[in-house]
Amino acid sequence: MSTSRHLRSWVTSANDHPDFPLQNLPFGVFSVPGLGKRGGVAIGDFIFDLQVALEAGLFSGAAQVAAEGASRSQFNEFFALDASARQALRSRLLQLLDEHSPQREQLQALGNLLQPMSDSQMHLPAQVGDYTDFYVGIHHAMNVGKLFRPDNPLLPNYKYVPIAYHGRASTLCVSGAPVKRPQGQTLAPGAEAPVFGPSKRLDYELEVGVWMGQGNEAGEPIPIAQASQHIAGFCLLNDWSARDLQAWEYQPLGPFLSKSFATSISPWVVTAEALAPFRRAQPARPDGDPKPLDYLFDEQDQQHGALDIELEVLLLTAHMKQQGLAPQRLALSNTLNMYWTVAQMVTHHSVNGCKLQPGDLFGTGTLSGPQAGQFGSLLEMTEGGKQVVELSSGETRTFLQAGDEVILKARCRKDGEVSIGFGECRGVVVG
């Protein structure tokens, strides 16, 4: 079905909605007073309750199978379906919610079909068995590398390997959950022994999350040409980082306590189908960079595997809230700053036989741009704490303080297409 700018919904708040017009239809798990957790679809200022729609007999065939999976309190079963079933459900939802839908009167008569988003609580979309955080934002890798290795910011493997580490799934949290300042060991400059205490260099990281759909059998890699069929959807992701803990612990095995205390994600799963109009050719590698090894190279992926998503970081301090001030933008970047495609991430993760499962979550790594105003972390903005960020409220920051709220947003824009968004990923620092 067309996703042209002329497609509109009988749910009037969806028309010209900044995030959730008819062209988006992301999935989320929600609850309202008196009803348990269940799956729904964002449409304007409302959530289309899939359980109510199923009880009304609005689906059949593959769309019904997908709707049943998506109506539950976790989406693992939904994600495990073949991509064609999810696509059938999307097509049926587009038909039902279109302003010219033959079922319009029937739907409007169902008083509990649309739940106000303002009355709803959002939950994690799936039970995440494994969480892997990649490092595919090349400008972030360059910026951080320059802090520690000015003459050699990128190690040789970066342009051959989609680098990642295995994160902690148990501390994934949905947008709005408070983030408690972590404690751990830090080594002060010039000191010979570490001390224990709360992190003094708490940071955020601007990332996109990738939800795995169908997995693979152990020992059976996912070929690059098929990898896109294993991706169920996308979200925003904030990989909170304690930079002082990280500096002491990361050698020789990489992040541990500095990353495992909290990772915030936005609650809506924006589907691969909704993002199809915003796919682009993967940006050309700089002259002299190696071509990906054969198992990571697919011409179709190179031509259509990149995503054009505008990413934004805003900061709202406790003082700004008290004064009634709006959040201040700290960075504006784009997913086109990814050195590797999502399909390459999936294929590389599985090439050794690693079993990926429905509901596994990937982080892209921090997606900074090459210029000031595009940096996705305070570590980069402050050059490791050496420079101060001046806020419009008169405050300054090098790293996050108690009461600071970090807000991530995302937007897709293209001439001839309706803009869609991801909603927000929020987190307030406690302590």
Confidence of residue 215 (pLDDT cuts 50, 70, 90): very high
381-425 tens-digit pLDDT: 999 999 999 999 999 999 999 999 999 999 999 999 999 999 999
Active-site annotation holder among 139, 140, 230, 348 = 140
Residue 304 has pLDDT above 80, yes or no: yes
Amino acid 4: pLDDT: 55
- Tally of domains in the chain: 2
Cα–Cα distance list, 334 to 75, 159, 366 (Å): 27, 20, 11
User: What would the mean pLDDT of 46-73 be, rounded to a whole number?
Assistant: 98
Amino acid 3: pLDDT: 44
Indicate if 276 and 392 belong to the same structural domain.
Answer: yes
CA nearest 275: which of 117, 417, 409? 417
Indicate if 236 and 198 belong to the same structural domain.
Answer: yes
Query: 69, 100, 123 — which closes off a domain?
Result: 123
| pTM > 0.85: yes or no | yes
**Are the C-beta atoms of residues 233 and 26 closer than 8 Å to each other?**
yes
Does 133 count as an annotated binding residue? yes
Confidence of residue 96 (pLDDT cuts 50, 70, 90): very high
Indicate if 104 and 238 belong to the same structural domain.
Answer: no
Residue 2 maps to a domain: no
Does 207 count as an annotated binding residue? yes
Does 263 count as an annotated binding residue? yes
Catalytic, 319? Answer: no
Indicate if 347 and 383 belong to the same structural domain.
Answer: yes
Does 239 count as an annotated binding residue? yes
Amino acid at 19: D
Q: Which domain holds residue 100?
A: 12-123
Residue 68 maps to a domain: yes
Q: What is the CA 56 to chain-centroid distance, rounded? A: 33
Provide the percentage of residues in the chain whose pLDDT is more than 90.
96
Residue 19 maps to a domain: yes
Any bridge partners for residue 180, and if so which?
430
**Domain harbouring 64, CATH code:** 2.30.30.230
Does 250 count as an annotated binding residue? yes
**Are the C-beta atoms of residues 225 and 427 closer than 8 Å to each other?**
no
Indicate if 173 and 45 belong to the same structural domain.
Answer: no
Indicate if 174 and 98 belong to the same structural domain.
Answer: no
Residue 6 maps to a domain: no
Residue 269 maps to a domain: yes
Residue 265 has pLDDT above 70, yes or no: yes
Provide the percentage of residues in the chain whose pLDDT is more than 70.
99
**Are the C-beta atoms of residues 27 and 39 closer than 8 Å to each other?**
yes
Amino acid 5: pLDDT: 60
Amino acid 6: pLDDT: 77
Indicate if 175 and 65 belong to the same structural domain.
Answer: no
103-156 tens-digit pLDDT: 999 999 998 999 999 999 999 999 999 999 999 999 999 999 999 888 889 999
Indicate if 226 and 96 belong to the same structural domain.
Answer: no
Any bridge partners for residue 43, and if so which?
46
Contacts of 74 by beta carbon, 8 Å cutoff, 6+ apart: 29, 124, 125, 126, 127, 359
Amino acid 2: pLDDT: 42
**Domain harbouring 364, CATH code:** 3.90.850.10
Indicate if 77 and 139 belong to the same structural domain.
Answer: no
Residue 7 maps to a domain: no
- Look up tokens 């008290």; give the residue: 322
Indicate if 214 and 346 belong to the same structural domain.
Answer: yes
Amino acid 150: pLDDT: 87
Indicate if 60 and 88 belong to the same structural domain.
Answer: yes
Indicate if 137 and 95 belong to the same structural domain.
Answer: no
141-197 tens-digit pLDDT: 999 999 988 888 999 999 999 999 999 999 999 999 999 999 999 999 999 999 999
Any bridge partners for residue 313, and if so which?
331, 408
Residue 47 has pLDDT above 60, yes or no: yes
Does 19 count as an annotated binding residue? no
Query: 88, 105, 123 — which closes off a domain?
Result: 123
- Look up tokens 């049926």; give the residue: 92
Does 146 count as an annotated binding residue? no
Residue 42 maps to a domain: yes
Cα–Cα distance list, 153 to 21, 146, 334, 367 (Å): 42, 5, 22, 17
Query: 123, 157, 189 — which closes off a domain?
Result: 123
Residue 50 maps to a domain: yes
Q: How many residues does the chain have?
A: 431
| Half-sphere exposure for 151 (CA within 13 Å, toward CB) | 0
What's the CA dihedral at 134, 135, 136, 137 to 10 degrees? 130
**Are the C-beta atoms of residues 429 and 177 closer than 8 Å to each other?**
no
Any bridge partners for residue 390, and if so which?
396
Q: What is the CA radius of gyration of the chain?
A: 22
Sheet containing 179-180: which strands, arranged edge to edge?
179-180, 420-430, 405-412, 310-316, 328-334
Residue 14 has pLDDT above 50, yes or no: yes
Task: Return the SS3 of 114.
Answer: strand
